[in-house]
Amino acid sequence: MRSTLASLATRRLACRSGALNRHNGGTFAAFRSHYSYANPGKWQSDRKDYHRHDFEDRGYTVGIGGPVGSGKTALVLALTKRLAKKVPLGVVTNDIFTQEDAEFLTRNKALPSQFIRAVETGGCPHAAIREDVSANLTACEDLTEVLKKENAAQSALILCESGGDNLAANFSRELADLTLYVIDVAGGDKIPRKGGPGITQSDVLIINKIDLAEAVGADLEVMKTDADVMRSNDSGSGPTIFASVRNDISVEDIENFIMENYAAATKGNAGNQ
């Protein structure tokens, strides 16, 4: 018994140190008492099968997800200030029991209140953006109707912010046409290599609060390398943007990414003439 426990302890210590696990070229998979996944997720660069072509009932929807405190709402605020005069723009926020994020955006004059909707999920935020997206779909459709009355000549753009959740959360393609996943350096430079759908499958990964890297001891080069590995396939790596939203660093890059995809998706659409 003692030798068995000692062996288990040694293996667990090795796994924690990173000396022996499958993700860094080690010789065996980390010890687990349950089944293991073959990989932490995989980047998919060809998403043609997911693309909608009709934005009449629901505008082009950008899903913005990520853990609590990563800077999602700050990003939404920064984007609204840049996009509001360029496209018919609406915002849907998600919180569990409150309308905190919608109220924050309204107080900070992100948009007129009629262009902001709040969804109270009442449970795990990922359920409302992945398993049962009906509440968010309804909010997006309602906003589209309002925006069409203001500007019927151009397709609406909806920013849909998820409530803060874990790395397993990512938007259903039934809800989001484009997905952004926001993490921050304060969570540690190990976050990208932990994988999960948000890290590996979002259309763009945003690593926020880079101005705090030195203060929290996070290595941005490690995060870049790990993000490229987690978001790689045979044709390359999915895009990753390093940002400090509060300091307006790389917000323009994020805006351009959204607008390029919005323009490509709505090109030739009757509502975008």
Q: Indicate the angle between helix axes 72-83 and 251-266, nearest 10 degrees.
A: 60
Q: What is the pLDDT of residue 37?
A: 58
Query: Cα separation of 20 and 13, whole Å?
Result: 9
Q: Which residues in the chain come in under a pLDDT of 50?
A: 4-32, 34, 270-273
How do residues 135-183 score in pLDDT, each as one tens digit? 999 999 999 999 999 999 999 999 999 998 888 888 999 999 999 999 9
Q: Which two tokens stand for residue 243?
A: 């940002």
pLDDT of residue 49: 54
Distance CA 211, CA 214 (A): 7
Q: What is the pLDDT of residue 84?
A: 96
What does the pLDDT read at residue 36?
57
Q: Give the model's pLDDT for residue 167.
A: 86
Neighbouring residues of 178: CB distance < 8 A, sequence distance ≥ 6: 60, 61, 62, 63, 203, 258, 261, 262, 265
Instruction: Take residue 193 and report the two structure tokens written for it.
Output: 């290599």
pLDDT, position 113 = 96
Distance CA 73, CA 86 (A): 20
pLDDT at 17: 42
pLDDT of residue 16: 41
